[in-house]
Amino acid sequence: MKIKKTALIVVFCAAAAAAAGWTARSYALGSGSSGNWPKQERAAASKSTMSLYDQGVAADKAGDNTAALEYFRKALKKDKNNPEILNMLAHSERKLGMLVEAMDDYWKALKIRPHFPEAREYMGETYIQAALAEISTLKSYGPEGEEGRKALVKAFKDAAASLPGERAPEAAK
């Protein structure tokens, strides 16, 4: 079953992301990506690129993911190989449910800057979001998708339980 195989791959990737230490965290006001941007990269960006990027971060913090997406797209046109912009573009795409695009842009950012904890965290969250979407899709298939849904849920729980130092939540009684 192709869906089952794809869903298991997504869960495996999510588990790998979590096992590598990429944990979910809230994107709190004041903790934007611009604070983590290496000084030499930030200095190399043009003022107009920085303005677009900063406006995107502000829109993201305000919860306006559509506006943030547009600012990051415009900034990326000016600076196509900027991992910070790619990361935040992907973050906005993920928040808007554009998971395939988000994964692609996280990978682009990581190709440029392999040691990029924030991009790896967000990418792990994207894989988890994709796995949960697959579970929901399988559930929508009714009895036909039940076997695949159960297998995927089990794989997800097993992956969570295998995290070093982590415990899966206890089942509801």
Position 170 in a domain = no
Q: What is the pLDDT of residue 170?
A: 62
pLDDT at position 164 is 83
Could you tell me which residue, 46 or 95, shows the higher pLDDT?
95
- Residue 160 has a pLDDT of 87
Calculate helix-pair angle for 65-78, 47-61, nearest 10 degrees: 160
Does 168 reside within a domain? no
Give the whole-angstrom CA distance, residue 170 versus residue 53. Answer: 42
Residue 86's pLDDT band (cuts 50, 70, 90):
very high
Q: 10 Å Cβ neighbour count for 33?
A: 20
pLDDT bin (cut points 50, 70, 90) of residue 13 is low
Answer whether residue 28 is part of any domain: no
CA atoms within 13 A on the CB side of 77: 7
State pTM to two decimals: 0.69
The CATH number assigned to the domain holding 135 equals 1.25.40.10
Q: Provide the domain limits for residue 74.
A: 2-22+33-161
Inside any domain, residue 167? no
Looking at the structure of the chain, the number of domains it has is 1
- Chain centre to alpha carbon of residue 143: 31
CA angle 118, 120, 121 (to 5 degrees): 65
Q: Is residue 172 part of a domain?
A: no
Instruction: Read off φ and ψ for residue 8, nearest 5 degrees.
Output: -65, -35
In a domain, 173, yes or no: no
Does the residue 132 lie in any domain?
A: yes
